[in-house]
Amino acid sequence: MNADPIAAFYRWIEYAAFGKALERRRFAFLSRTACARRVLILGEGDGRFLARLAAINDTARVDVVEASAAMIELARGRLPQPAARRVRFHHQDALRAPLPGDSYDLIVTHFFLDCFAADDAARMIATLAAALQPGGGWVVSEFQEPSGRLARLHARLWLFLMYTFFRLATGLAARELPPYAALLSRAGLVLEDQRQARWGLMVSQIWRKPAAANVP
């Protein structure tokens, strides 16, 4: 998805729909990123998470992969100069271009995996998991369909509205959530912690790649 057409006012669209609920999901596990040294962020958007990460972690080297040039400019504008020297932006399609590096101790995807069909998400998750160091963490913020009749109905309504909007505004090809949790588990990652919001519509998670000594 290329968010150039809506980049300038994406933040306000987000606030109009959900207030600051998505921001709270992005920042839910921010404190656990303070010790990361090599970070890969995919689909960072306008840079709100990146700016917070740079403020609490003054040593990490960060690669940001983002398909929208307009979003990259917004993200750059949020970084103070000392932090900007530690961040490399890569204007590329995460599905089609190779990763900028092959060894990270932290991967971050906020409301990113939901942009892909199941087959594409599976391929991307496998590639990213291979680039994550043993013992490394993967912070995920996403939408989901929770259990419970009313909660699931609420989620399905919002997902229909969002996929319709982004299809019309950005040409998004995906039509439904991929089974990202199952795909992360299949790639060998273990769910370490999670927090849900909005009747379970949104979730923040930390997945961990087992340390080498624990891999069968």
Under CATH, which number does the domain 4-209 receive? 3.40.50.150
Please tell me the distance from the alpha carbon of residue 175 to that of residue 36, in angstroms, as a whole number: 34
pLDDT confidence band for 212 (50 / 70 / 90)? confident
DSSP-derived secondary structure for 156-186: HHHHHHHHHHHHHHH-----S---HHHHHHH
CB 131 within 8 A of CB 40: yes
pLDDT digits (tens, 9 = 90+) for 111-136: 999 999 999 999 999 999 999 999 99
Q: Report the candidate in 15, 84, 94, 17 with the shortest Cα–Cα distance to residue 47.
A: 84
* In the chain, where the domains are located: 4-209
